Amino acid sequence: MRVAPKVEIDRMTYRYWLERDKREFVAFADVSLDVADGEFVCICGPSGCGKTTLLNIVAGLLTYEEGSLRVNGVTVNGPGISRSMVFQHASLLPWRTVAGNVRYGMEMQRRFDRSTMDARTEQFVNLVGLGGFEGRYPAELSGGMQQRVNLARALATDPEVLLMDEPFAALDAQTREFMQAELLKIWTRAGKTVIFITHQIDEAVFLADRVVVMGTRPGRLKGEFAIPFARPRALSIKRDPEFLRLSDEIWSLIEEEAGRINVVSAS
């Protein structure tokens, strides 16, 4: 018996009107993607292929008219407690402490009582390794620590699906590598379904169960790569010949798609 996927995107196309150019723009077309319960899927592709637009639709931040979107078999037409978003920038409230920021999402949902919020705040602050920093303000934290707060805030609302839009892009290279390893530890403990957007191919291969590549505008799914490496994974796996071969294969597909963008732009 087939187990229904956690997230089902079926033949979705997203269009919007460019007022300046007086024409319709197709961000992506005919996209179908299933994500299993507990799966970690990374989506890669050249800039402008519609990755973030697709993620925003899954989050309920953008509406769609063509295709369908379901979470747990239920049609999604807007924001909901089943999904939570981690953006590229932490976007923390500067007047709130670490604990206050982690509580914020729960307060907005109004489905947890005070004692539950206290317990979940402590739980997820500790889960992301920020125990002892509960009373600090965002300005007192490094970029990596701020993203940990961002992640804890998202997890504390107990979403079924965690959506992550290049959450480590603004970090320096060393911190980014460290956060990748930490994210896998947190994901293993939290047991969430994750859809993760990234431009960095080795990040995708390191994190994911499956890497999906989107093509040029209008974005379409051009390829899927099952990642064969067992978990848990150490950062040293990035030096493994098979890791490098797989990364090169994904890069070749993205490079081919990026070349098409340049050809279209020049014509």
This prediction has a pTM of: 0.92
| Other residues' Cβ atoms within 10 Å of the Cβ of residue 94 | 8
Residue 35 pairs in a beta bridge with 7
* pLDDT for residue 10 is more than 80: yes
- Sign of the torsion formed by the C-alpha atoms of 77, 79, 80 and 86: positive
* pLDDT for residue 144 is more than 60: yes
- Sign of the torsion formed by the C-alpha atoms of 179, 180, 186 and 190: positive
For the stretch 249-266, pLDDT in tens is 999 999 887 666 554 444
* pLDDT for residue 245 is more than 60: yes
The mean pLDDT of the chain is 91
* pLDDT for residue 267 is more than 50: no
- Sign of the torsion formed by the C-alpha atoms of 228, 215, 192 and 96: positive
% the chain with pLDDT above 90 = 80
Q: What is the DSSP string of 146-199?
A: HHHHHHHHHHHT--SEEEEESTTTTS-HHHHHHHHHHHHHHHHHH--EEEEE-S
- Report the SS3 class of residue 212: strand
* Max mean pLDDT range (23-27, 72-76, 218-222): 72-76
* pLDDT for residue 216 is more than 90: no
Q: Lowest mean pLDDT: which of 13-27, 80-94, 169-183, 199-213?
A: 13-27
Q: What is the DSSP string of 25-82?
A: EEEEEEEEEEE-TT-EEEEE-STTSSHHHHHHHHHTSS--SEEEEEETTEE--S--TT
Max alpha carbon distance in the chain (Å)? 62
**Which pLDDT does position 265 carry in this prediction?**
43
**Which pLDDT does position 131 carry in this prediction?**
95
Structural tokens at position 54:
């697709």
**Which pLDDT does position 89 carry in this prediction?**
87
For the stretch 81-115, pLDDT in tens is 999 999 988 889 999 999 999 999 999 998 899 99
* Domains, the chain: 1-82+162-169+193-267 (3.40.50.300)
* pLDDT for residue 232 is more than 80: yes
Phi first, then psi, for residue 11 (nearest 5°) are: 50, 50
Q: Lowest mean pLDDT: which of 123-132, 175-184, 211-220?
A: 211-220
